[in-house]
Amino acid sequence: MTARQVALITGASSGIGEATARRLAKEGFDLILVARREERLRELQAELEKEFGGSKGLSVGTMVLDITDREAVRSAFQSQKDLKIQDLLKRLHVLVSNAGLAKGVDPMPEAKVEDWETMIETNVLGLLYVTRFALDFIKPNRGHLVNLGSVAGRWTYPGGGVYCATKAAVLAITEGLRLDLQGSGVRVTNIEPGKVSTEFSLVRYKDPDRARKEYEGYEPLAPDDIADCIAWSVTRPPHVNIQEMVIFPTAQASVTHLVRK
Ligand code: 8X3
């Protein structure tokens, strides 16, 4: 019997990360769930173990980690004390770099520099730290890096300049990884969603009314829709590399064209 493959998911405590954890557990992956919110991770771990553990064989570990803390990320991979996580890391095949956020929609001349720093630190540096240290464990042949880019990485919109820049960086990082990993059998995929109904807008606007309005009058994508795309990408035959996937809600034709009823 071949050992079960392990997927590590960042930002696993909610939204796309959480949906991807559920979906990959169903597909037969063991999991390492990474996020800052310990309680949410533990709840998800317990739920998944109840549904897919025992005779179904799922093993789930959690890493409470701020991915913007380089030394914490380094130590989580290189000096891991938890024996269960150590064992899971030995079987690491798939990394889903999902953790990311947007802060504010102020025009650039008025925007908060701290918001820019938070976005760049999380979406670019945090993703790079995890990728770099995870790559020491990712198995050649059947290894797979999945990056959560965005339609914002391909098209820029007013008030989104720096967020868009971070997602354009994720696209370039994906292409760089593809080139540098060529020949290793490790696949790299950039998933680029449009509007997905998650905590994203609440974090961006810090205003529940504004966040709710973001998804009113049309059917936005659900986290499960994106988890579907990720699961499909990582379950293609080994010779198939889905390099980029752009997914909009049907009502959204570009980053600036959205039809609401
Ligand atoms: C999120 C999509 O269009 O709100 O990455 O920037 S958008």
**163 noted as active-site residue:** yes
Q: Which ligand 1 atom lies nearest to the CA of residue 200?
A: 1
Ligand 1 center–CA 219 separation, angstroms:
15
Q: Is the CB of 152 under 6 A from ligand 1?
A: yes
CA dist 176 and 149 (Å) reads 14
Assess whether the C-beta atom of 150 lies below 6 angstroms from ligand 1.
yes
Ligand 1 center to 72 CA (angstroms): 29
For the chain, what is the radius of gyration of the CA atoms?
A: 18
Long-range contacts of 201-210 (CB under 8 A, 24+ apart): 203/101, 203/102, 203/103, 204/101, 204/102, 204/103, 204/104, 204/105, 205/104, 205/105
Atom of ligand 1 minimally distant from the CA of 194: 2
pTM of the predicted model, to two decimals? 0.97
Which residue owns the Cα nearest ligand 1 atom 2? 194
Indicate if ligand 1 lies below 6 Å from the C-beta of 195. yes
| Substitution site in 123, 127, 255, 258 for ligand 1 pocket (most atoms within 8 Å of beta carbon) | 255
Question: Per-residue confidence of the chain (261 residues) as pLDDT tens digits?
Answer: 578 999 999 999 999 999 999 999 999 999 999 999 999 999 999 999 999 999 999 999 999 999 999 999 999 999 999 999 999 999 999 999 999 999 999 999 999 999 999 999 999 999 999 999 999 999 887 899 999 999 999 999 999 999 999 999 999 999 999 999 999 999 999 999 999 999 999 999 999 999 999 999 999 999 999 999 999 999 999 999 999 999 999 999 999 999 999
Q: Does the domain made of 6-247 have the CATH classification 3.40.50.300?
A: no
> Which positions ≥6 away from 252 have C-beta within 8 Å?
194, 195, 218, 258, 259
